[in-house]
Structure 1
């Protein structure tokens, strides 16, 4: 019986001490201190990645002058999902496939010279240039790290953009949308 009374007194003492002591500060959650909240509004004050920009480009980039019988192509890369200009990104043209040469390849595996792929890199403004291309139908593919994406027709149309090049053509695509 004496043990029970001592145990009860000890528990009451602990309860009293814990009630009188100041509350300990808990660590802040990531969304309340030093971290941005979800969405663009929480990103104020945070710089975009070094190789991107939040401005939508005008896209008026003249294509180079090709050799006789060849074609050239230019544009500015813009990624819709991140609202960013893609600067210093790897991209390539790949020949269209299918009976009518109007279908993208079933697998995008990076620029393969033996498949006719032609690589380049966008500059610090997101501009890219291809010169002295064989006339024909192509698709534009951008490397996004571990993935590849086809350029699409517009911000509202996710259909892959078929690029038709004629002899002696200088084609400026303007702003090229990457989903």
Structure 2
């Protein structure tokens, strides 16, 4: 660039800086900004009923988690009808309900972000070795209240991969082992309740 171009750029920068300075300062008659400070003080504290000297709140304002305010929480696993569609002639359909037990509270339907079918890969001995799934694996329809449905599943042996967003889990059977199931052509397979545990 030529020296004249530099001079023009420098003049523009100085002019813009001056304009911003004038616009930002405002007039000298503006009132200074005020700040409102709010101080919250705790409510009244009552002495402990047992005379231990430790203060206790006037009332118990803490509810247990998730507590009775959760309308879907029940003493028994949810009894929801799962409408599993009929598959094509060469395929099967699979469905069930994901449930979480809240210790000491009850049961609640659990709808994860995604449930995928994972194909069982067998060892040379013919025993199930591991579950394999990918982005191309079949994903369940999740209509809510814990229901999951797979339609037109190719025959084979499968497990379930449950994606909660913060972790992925394998569905387990009642013995705590990885749940494996066989799908046959023309079959409608209701897996019932699938209990999901995060611990």
TM-score where L is the length of structure 2: 0.58
- In 1, are the aligned partners of 2:78 and 2:108 still within 8 Å (CA)? no
Gaps of at least 5 residues in structure 2 are 1-42, 46-54
- In 2, are the aligned partners of 1:88 and 1:121 still within 8 Å (CA)? no
RMSD: 3.2
Count of residue pairs the alignment pairs up: 140
- In 2, are the aligned partners of 1:138 and 1:164 still within 8 Å (CA)? yes
Equivalent residue, structure 2, for 1:57: 78
| Offset of residue 131 of structure 1 | 0.7
User: Is 2:98 the partner of 1:77?
Assistant: yes
Aligned mates of 1:175, 1:153 — CA distance in 2: 10
Q: Tell me which of the two structures has the higher relative contact order, counting C-alpha pairs closer than 8 angstroms and 6 or more residues apart.
A: 1
Change (3 A) 1:77 1:103: farther
User: Is 2:112 the partner of 1:112?
Assistant: no
Aligned mates of 2:99, 2:171 — CA distance in 1: 9
Aligned mates of 2:176, 2:80 — CA distance in 1: 19
Aligned mates of 1:118, 1:125 — CA distance in 2: 20
Partner of residue 120 from structure 2, selected from 96, 99, 105: 96
Match of 1:113, SS state, is: coil
Equivalent residue, structure 1, for 2:10: none
- Which structure 1 residue ranges, 4+ long, deviate > 6 Å from structure 2? none
Question: Deviation string for 1:104-160 (max 9, x for gaps)?
Answer: 438xxxx6235xx21124222221111111100111121122101111112xx2111
Equivalent residue, structure 2, for 1:20: none
User: Is 2:160 the partner of 1:134?
Assistant: no
Aligned mates of 2:147, 2:44 — CA distance in 1: 51
Change (3 A) 1:137 1:57: same
TM-score where L is the length of structure 1: 0.63
Q: Which has the larger radius of gyration?
A: 2
Aligned mates of 1:101, 1:130 — CA distance in 2: 25
Change (3 A) 1:152 1:87: same
